[in-house]
Amino acid sequence: MADGYVKTIGPTAAPFTHFWRIVAHLQNGKTEVFWGHANSLKEAIGKKAATEEAARQRGWTAFEFEVVKLTES
């Protein structure tokens, strides 16, 4: 991720190509982090609209949404 965080998943046969991450800033000053996988960049980017709605529903003060390409190691 942009901040240097490395997310590791176990072996999978699923055709994941991208990770997405949401860092939600809560009204109490804390943060929550949500992760997901997608089968394409388009699918991953499509999660941003849902994130904007979630932010409104949950009263987040702000959020960061990131998408990165999955790399095998």
First to last CA, the chain: 15
Q: Which domain holds residue 52?
A: 16-29+47-73
Q: Is residue 41 included in any domain, yes or no?
A: no
Q: How many helices (H) and strands (E) does the chain have?
A: 1, 3
Phi first, then psi, for residue 37 (nearest 5°) are -125, 155
Tens digit of each residue's pLDDT (9 = 90 or more) over 13-50: 677 888 899 999 999 999 999 999 899 999 999 999 99
- Residues 38 and 44: their CA atoms lie apart, in Å, by 5
Mean pLDDT calculated for residue range 54-66: 95
Q: Is residue 73 included in any domain, yes or no?
A: yes
pLDDT at 66 exceeding the cut of 90: yes
The greatest distance separating any two alpha carbons of the chain, rounded to the nearest whole angstrom, comes to 40
Per-residue pLDDT band for 4 (boundaries 50, 70, 90) equals: confident
pTM of the model: 0.78
Q: Is residue 71 included in any domain, yes or no?
A: yes
